Structure 1
Amino acid sequence: MLRTVDLGGPAWVVRPVGALAEGAPDRTAAGWEVPAVVPGCVHTDLLRAGVIPDPLQGGNEAAVQWVGLTDWEYTTRVELEEAPAQGERRHLVLDGLQTVATVTVNGAEVAATRNMHRRYRVDVTDVVAPGDNELRVRFASSARAMLDAAGDDPLPYDWAYPYNELRTMACEVGWDWGPTLVSAGIWRPVRLERWHTARAEVDVTTTTSADLARGVLVVGLDVETAPQGAHAGGLEVEVVLARPGDAAPATTWRRPVGPGRNRLELDVERPEPWWPRGYGEAALHDVAVRLVDAAGRVLQEDHRRVGFRHVAVDTTPDEHGRAFTVRVNDRPVFCKGANWIPDDVLVSRMTPARYAERVGQAVDAHMNTLRVWGGGIYEDEAFYAACDELGVLVWQDFAFACAAYPEHDEMRAEVAAEADDVVRRLAAHPSVVVWNGANECVLGWEDWGWRAQVRDRAWGEGYYREVLPAAVAAHAPGAVYVANSPVASEPGVHPQVPGDGPVHLWDPWNLFDYAHYRDEIPRFVAEFGYQAPATWPTLAEALGTVPDRPDDAALAARQKQPAGQRNLVDRLAGRFPDPAALAAGTERWHLATGLNQAHALRSGIEHFRSWWPRTAGALVWQLNDVWPALSWSLVDHGGRPKPAWYAVRRAFADRLVTIQPREAGLAVVLVNDTDEVWADLLTVRRAHVLDGEVAREAREVVVPARSVLTVRVGPGITQAGHRREELVVAETSPAGDGADGAHRAVHAFVRDDGMRWPAPAVTHTVERRGEDLLVRLEAGVAVADVQVESPGLRADAALGTLLPGERATVVLRPERPGTGGLDADPPIRVRTRNELFHA
């Protein structure tokens, strides 16, 4: 039986090799050999030892740049009690090295690597010995390696270093939402495997017919035999498939296997299907794969959880261009979701609990899709397992983003090996339904002036058109491949057109206003976003104290988009009176920019959803953050939802009420993203901000399953008496309590900054219930974007509009339940949009 010795943990030391880069501290007296923990990286080890300050706190990013320009060496000692038995082999397995590494065992070089995204396996049988063994992993500076590879004539790239020259996490060199922290280290587990006779690399995936009548469990084994191992003809594989539920009997297959590649296709009649969230159960089957020798002994046993689903992307031509609709089990799905970036720039710090929390926050916001963006990493198994279990579709980018990539022989071989490895690793996960060649690389070729700099050199297209789709076809036949995002399905069509393929909509943030989301009716929006700062507690934790002015250098250092600080203020124009005055103080600026992000994303999502099935997806940029930042995230690096998270949750609700302009006039659009008919009473009112209801219309509506109903608003509502003081309010029953407006839509007759919002008048009472606080609100006037805040507590709802006399209840829960009791009388603060209209 294969035996494993875990080489991780604290039994390592790290030290610099050669000259220290400029800026390093003087440790002549203390010495430079520092205790290290594996998995980890040099930044986490130096931080733990007190050598460097926390890179994500204050202005420390600049103070630790020397770390990425220095070479480092990790060392540990491994005690082996016995020599290999006859026929036994010993393999060193390294699941992740960041990035330019030389591995030696007892002084003998056994591996040299240049790829953070691959796993490595090295036979060290003839190198290790009984007793004490030394393992060293030396890391050359990735920053210098990138510069050396690029030379004087680099291919196009952005940020601090030419990441396109090295297979490493692109965003460690900086991005427009993250710091520059080039690291090094053994960032995923390392182990010694001992085996005899034979072993196998196992990969598992499934295919399923569109009618779900027949599934195929595809098991791949790359079998390796020891020199004195059993004859190849004596090996068998036993595969056991356990269906969901205890009552269903397991199915067992036994097949002979031999050295080299073996592929088994095992028929499964009517498997329980895996469905995305909102369409059915995300049914998972347990698979055991056992390699057995001629004597019946189990040599190796591997376990996977798989799902049976059929996936396709419908690109049928129509009167608007070409569709781009993800179909799961032959059902069209509106992809409601967000882009995922690494949840920490020091990626080895991620934990299964943190993955589960963040994916859970996506699901709580009614998302069914996450796109793993190509400038980060191929995530840990814990991420994909969470998506599998919760029914979240994963759009997986290959690790290419926003640059031209060289295609010389060495790099092409590296990319092919990476693609083969990562697709085989992730193929078992039913959540991974779309593989994408790269982020914005074809767009860069078309629109960013690359041609003059690239000239006659290859720039990566060979990867997207040949190497990567070949890996997907070979190892994930049940998945979909698209060459890039954005990209057109039709050959010869520009990658960024609204009528064909996924698009990225950045002009509303970079150039205009979020009203311009309505300029187009795209087929699928793979990126769109608006910025806002992290929550106040997260900024305070990162900076010590939040500066009084938003243009303070400490706060501005958290903004990595060159035009971001200016855009945050400029995009307030037309939305709030006197944006310059709001930008004079951090507190009002923080509230205004947070609300602006919330309304921008809600506006875009509601527009896109109102055009289903013509538009079939909306993926917000971005769900999460790599550090405490001013960025496009919905959830900040502290795990706290921004106001935009609440707005997106409302906009992605399975049943949505929205007010939209149409050619025939103002309309209420009801979106039913469920399998049940939605029969309801729709009430549309005109209400004055002080006096309440002025006019009302009501009608019964029936919205078929998975469809959209558009209802024109009558003139009794649309003909305002006092344009700047009246609102159109549409709601279904239950009307909702106003806390987050889940069944309510509100429309103003004038531009946002022209509304005469009264001074806020909201009273509240508080009831303690265990660890929770129930805050009951009553509005004396119309108040918009109601938020209830209290230190250490998180609201269950936010951003609703209350009309005069209306009541709502908000529940405040501890950010970390079970960590201690509430203060005797915790402070409660009610924030509204109204306060930004009054000095």
Structure 2
Amino acid sequence: MTPCGNNFICVLGVLLCVCFRVFSSVTEQQRTVSLNGKWGLSSSDGSLSLTAQVPGCVHSALQQQGYIQDPYFRFNDVSYQWIALDNWTYTTVFAVSAQLRARQKVLLVFDGVDTVASVWLNGITVGKTDNMFRRYDFSVRDLLRDGDNVLNVSLLSPVLYASEQRKAHSAYRVPPECPPDVQKGECHVNFIRKEQSSFSWDWGPSFPTMGLWKDVRLEAFDILQLVQISSVPLYNYSRSQWTVQVELLVDAVETTTGQITLSIPELDSDQTFQTEFLSGKTKNIFILNINTVLDTVHGVQVLMKCILQVYFRTVELVQEPVVGSPGLSFYFRINGKPVFLKGSNWIPAHSFQDQLLCLSFLNSAVDANMNALRVWGGGVYEQDLFYSICDELGIMVWQDFMFACATYPTEDRFIQTVREEVVQQVRRLKSHPSIIIWSGNNENEAALATDWFNIPAPQKSTYIKDYVTLYVNNIRKIVQEEDQSRPFLVSSPTNGAESEQEGWVAANPYDPHYGDTHFYSYILDCWDWRTFPRTRFASEYGFQSWPSFSTLQPVSVNEDWSYNSNFSSHRQHHEAGNQEMLLQAAFHFHLPNSTEPLKRFTDTLYITQVMQAQCVKTQTEFYQRSRSEIIEGKGRTMGALYWQLNDIWQAPSWSSVEFGGKWKMLHYFAQSFFSAVLPVGFEDNNTLLIYAVSDLNQDLKLRVTVYSWADLDPVCTLKSDLILVPGGSAVPIFKEPVATLLVGCGRCTRLTCLLTFHLEDPSSVQQGPTNHHFLCSPKEAQGLQRPNITVSFSILDYTVTLHSASVAPFVWLDVGNIPGRFSSNGFLMVSRNMTVSFNAWRPTSVAELSKYLTITSLRDVY
């Protein structure tokens, strides 16, 4: 399938056949024996001995065998700290056939060990591991025996290992030493190559995992084996010609002569290469010229035949002078077309990697009209399935390397394991067309430039040198050698080319005239668009909210159901986050004040989601309308990736999708503000302006409807002339002083009226969503009443018809823990009747939906 979804413009997706032949009298019989399944697991002193699933981790095994409760329940993240402070040993016993042991080479392969371990086979050490992100293999042919073979993997406590590595680094500190106290985490995570957020983050718990988190197997062969294959299409702009670079990582028992045939029948391209595979592991690169046909040499042994999917697309990160502005542009050109990236940031979907599913989250991203996700640098390089789904769905991926919010050591041992990590991950992932950029780290340039870690001025050069050593001289160099098909950035945020000119650490990496920016402000009023930077590209921004009650309920008890409970405080890992949410909400809303404790709690959860949705909407629409403008030297914004898409547990965070997959109000809003066609309204000096934002090329006109807060009948309607809106642009389509508009409507003031507006084509057919603009804060609105919404269900399908007695802002439908989503939610209801449907993610019934359905609007919470 070709990845043509959203704005990911594709040229062609074809099948590449790689035929692998060797000149040998030996008949190759490569054998693979999986060692996945049930293993034994024991603590260091033997007091705990249980069965564990591989792939898996210690925490999951303990829970599955009943030794611990759900680690996410209440305060268990702290209660179970002892697990990561112990050493654990995985053990399995297996038999192998005489035929396998007769092979010339037998490898014991671990696709992923978390993290620091010694590997023993039949009582003999065969190797060690120290990097969660690496594949390890060990030669074990001579250690295998008849009958039972005993394999042990002894894992060290990652917390104690990180601490010991920190102590061994005595020359100077490598900050941060520990996370903030509010995160309840562990220290020195930057000294161990594992998921950085597993030691805690401001949105997640501390669960420093241990285990065999990916496949374990034996691989046996006589001549050679294909370890890895990748293909990258390359476009020569000067010659307007495509080639396909095919890379084979081969492990040969001895130097062997062979033949590789590459063919793409759809493109009439076929080429054969005579080659020599050197003894040991070697990288072999072959270039297939498109539309070139060579005769195939026959009469040799076919060792293996691989079919690969190859997607032809080009990616450019354009950084060039901007007319009317200092600085440089920063945007992605896909297949020659500038593309505005619309999406979010991806964090690990679960603390325990053996328990996560990504399909529903990625479908939710596409359903919200996203075309891009940034895989954030403090988690993991995601599983192959994640990127394959992104390929299929047309989701462009900004891929960070796994370094975040820290400085890192640069001793030879650390650098060497990072180098192998980067090589392996780039080779594994570069065939995926969804990945459009590699980025070296998250926020580490900014951390040095703006002195997050209070580094004395005389020492700053040492840290900059370490930064350049790790990200430029090593990671960047490796990526550019391994993959010439996509760009590389050293950090995010960064000034990009300008940062390079300034020695890789810019004086101000947040300069809106260059690169990408991260921006957060929880104190200033988020409804004021002037507080946001008019940046070239917004790769992080956002606001917190709480998840719904149905998501919190399974991990809490009655005494926790208060905004001021110990549970609510414990679950919040961002300093003062709970207070900041209410502060921001209070700018424009009355805070819930029910005397019934549970209702007050659920109403407060609701108001945080209303606040978050409206704040991120305002900021994203500001970036959307800034794509075509330069104002005071700033603008031409070409990307909006809000923080964050998903959650790692049930807690307050910046996410738009709750743990488990339930959509917050923000995600429903994203479905509108990421639409291909969108009207954006705002005020400037008491003048209302409305822009038409479009990814398409079409003639559009605007319809504005004015309503009274007290009445469902429109007060008046305004229209604009038809105007051409070029694809990929934002064009002003309406401008009028608010006072003039209100006088023209007759009986309106700022406090009594509100606006809705939408775009139409020349035939007056609505294009894109209906948007709204409040002329005052809803808490000041005169005439806003309780809407007393009633419902009727269709007995034929899962549709709900709402009947309202008055204007109802932020109408929220909830069906508890029934998984699924509504066709629309969190909406402004300005009609007496409205019908929405429910897309169930499991079998349900109208009776079940009606039993659990609750409806909340803004006026219902105070």
- Residue 600 (structure 1) aligned with residue 620 (structure 2): no
d(CA) in 1 for partners of 2:298, 2:142: 26
Q: Do the aligned partners of 2:374 and 2:399 also contact (CA within 8 Å) in 1?
A: yes
User: What do the CA deviations read for 1:78-108 (whole angstroms, capped 9, x no partner)?
Assistant: 1112155665211111110000011111111
Moved more, 212-221 or 579-588: 579-588
d(CA) in 2 for partners of 1:123, 1:759: 75
Q: Which residue of 1 aligns with 2:333?
A: 327
Q: Do the aligned partners of 1:87 and 1:226 also contact (CA within 8 Å) in 2?
A: no
- Residue 190 (structure 1) aligned with residue 190 (structure 2): no
Aligned-residue Cα RMSD (Å) equals: 2.9
Q: Which residue of 1 aligns with 2:36?
A: 8
Q: Do the aligned partners of 1:205 and 1:475 also contact (CA within 8 Å) in 2?
A: no
Q: Which runs of 5+ in 2 are unaligned?
A: 1-28, 180-185, 629-635
Residue 198 of structure 1 aligns with an amino acid whose one-letter code is L
The structure whose RCO (Cα within 8 Å, separation 6+) is larger is 2
- Residue 258 (structure 1) aligned with residue 277 (structure 2): yes
Q: Which residue of 1 aligns with 2:8?
A: none
Q: CA deviation at 1:209?
A: 4.2
Q: CA deviation at 1:729?
A: 2.0
Alignment equivalent of 1:481, drawn from 478, 488, 491:
488
Q: CA deviation at 1:249?
A: 6.7
User: What do the CA deviations read for 1:446-466 (whole angstroms, capped 9, x no partner)?
Assistant: 111442296535543322222
User: What do the CA deviations read for 1:699-744 (whole angstroms, capped 9, x no partner)?
Assistant: 3433222222212333542557322111122223499xxxx99522
d(CA) in 2 for partners of 1:394, 1:307: 15
Matches within 5 A, 1:83-94: 84=100, 88-94=104-110
Q: Which residue of 2 aligns with 1:105?
A: 121
Return closer, same or farther for 1:750/1:74 CA change in 2, 3 Å cut-off: same
Residue 193 of structure 2 aligns with an amino acid whose one-letter code is R
Return closer, same or farther for 1:512/1:751 CA change in 2, 3 Å cut-off: closer
Q: CA deviation at 1:801?
A: 1.5
Q: CA deviation at 1:828?
A: 3.1
Q: CA deviation at 1:422?
A: 0.5
User: What do the CA deviations read for 1:175-223 (whole angstroms, capped 9, x no partner)?
Assistant: 0000001110000111111111112333322223459953221112233
Alignment equivalent of 1:818, drawn from 837, 840, 843:
843
Matches within 5 A, 1:817-836: 817-818=842-843, 822-823=847-848, 825-836=850-861
User: What do the CA deviations read for 1:251-306 (whole angstroms, capped 9, x no partner)?
Assistant: 56454242133211112259xxxxxxxxxxxxxxxxxxxxx999733334545433
Return closer, same or farther for 1:440/1:594 CA change in 2, 3 Å cut-off: same
d(CA) in 2 for partners of 1:548, 1:210: 61
Moved more, 335-344 or 713-722: 713-722
SS in structure 1 of the partner of residue 40 of structure 2: strand
Residue 590 of structure 1 aligns with an amino acid whose one-letter code is L
Residue 574 of structure 2 aligns with an amino acid whose one-letter code is Q
Moved more, 314-323 or 381-390: 314-323
Q: Which runs of 5+ in 1 are unaligned?
A: 20-30, 271-291
- Residue 68 (structure 1) aligned with residue 90 (structure 2): no
d(CA) in 1 for partners of 2:380, 2:188: 17
Alignment equivalent of 2:456, drawn from 428, 452, 456:
452
SS in structure 2 of the partner of residue 186 of structure 1: coil
SS in structure 2 of the partner of residue 111 of structure 1: strand
Q: Which residue of 1 aligns with 2:477?
A: 470
Return closer, same or farther for 1:147/1:38 CA change in 2, 3 Å cut-off: same
- Residue 673 (structure 1) aligned with residue 679 (structure 2): no
How many residues get paired?
Answer: 786
Return closer, same or farther for 1:6/1:333 CA change in 2, 3 Å cut-off: same
Q: Which residue of 1 aligns with 2:718?
A: 697
Q: CA deviation at 1:349?
A: 1.6
SS in structure 2 of the partner of residue 34 of structure 1: strand
Q: CA deviation at 1:821?
A: 7.3
d(CA) in 1 for partners of 2:427, 2:852: 52
Q: Which residue of 2 aligns with 1:376?
A: 379
Return closer, same or farther for 1:763/1:587 CA change in 2, 3 Å cut-off: closer
Q: Do the aligned partners of 2:340 and 2:728 also contact (CA within 8 Å) in 1?
A: no
Q: CA deviation at 1:762?
A: 4.7
Matches within 5 A, 1:795-806: 795-803=822-830, 805-806=831-832
Q: CA deviation at 1:541?
A: 1.7
Q: Which residue of 1 aligns with 2:205?
A: 179
Q: CA deviation at 1:469?
A: 1.4
TM-score computed with the length of structure 2 as normaliser = 0.86
Q: Do the aligned partners of 1:118 and 1:418 also contact (CA within 8 Å) in 2?
A: yes
d(CA) in 1 for partners of 2:120, 2:304: 27
Alignment equivalent of 2:137, drawn from 118, 121, 124:
121
Q: CA deviation at 1:145?
A: 0.6
SS in structure 2 of the partner of residue 826 of structure 1: helix
Q: Which residue of 2 aligns with 1:283?
A: none
Return closer, same or farther for 1:519/1:789 CA change in 2, 3 Å cut-off: closer
Residue 330 of structure 2 aligns with an amino acid whose one-letter code is F
d(CA) in 1 for partners of 2:742, 2:406: 50
Q: CA deviation at 1:582?
A: 10
d(CA) in 1 for partners of 2:99, 2:494: 56
Q: CA deviation at 1:2?
A: 2.3
Q: Which residue of 1 aligns with 2:5?
A: none
d(CA) in 2 for partners of 1:583, 1:171: 37
d(CA) in 1 for partners of 2:774, 2:563: 29
SS in structure 1 of the partner of residue 373 of structure 2: strand
Return closer, same or farther for 1:203/1:606 CA change in 2, 3 Å cut-off: same
- Residue 42 (structure 1) aligned with residue 64 (structure 2): no
Alignment equivalent of 2:708, drawn from 652, 665, 688:
688
- Residue 522 (structure 1) aligned with residue 531 (structure 2): no
User: What do the CA deviations read for 1:561-619 (whole angstroms, capped 9, x no partner)?
Assistant: 12211211111121213578899831221111010011011111111000114000010
Q: Which residue of 2 aligns with 1:285?
A: none
Q: Do the aligned partners of 2:235 and 2:242 also contact (CA within 8 Å) in 1?
A: yes
Return closer, same or farther for 1:726/1:208 CA change in 2, 3 Å cut-off: same
Matches within 5 A, 1:344-743: 344-350=350-356, 354-447=357-450, 448-452=452-456, 456=462, 458-489=465-496, 490=498, 491-492=501-502, 493=506, 494-506=508-520, 508-509=521-522, 513=526, 515=528, 518-545=531-558, 547-578=560-591, 585-613=600-628, 614-662=636-684, 665-674=687-696, 676-677=697-698, 679-691=699-711, 692-702=713-723, 703-715=725-737, 716-719=740-743, 721-733=748-760, 743=769
Q: CA deviation at 1:335?
A: 0.4
Q: Do the aligned partners of 1:197 and 1:225 also contact (CA within 8 Å) in 2?
A: yes
Residue 667 of structure 1 aligns with an amino acid whose one-letter code is L
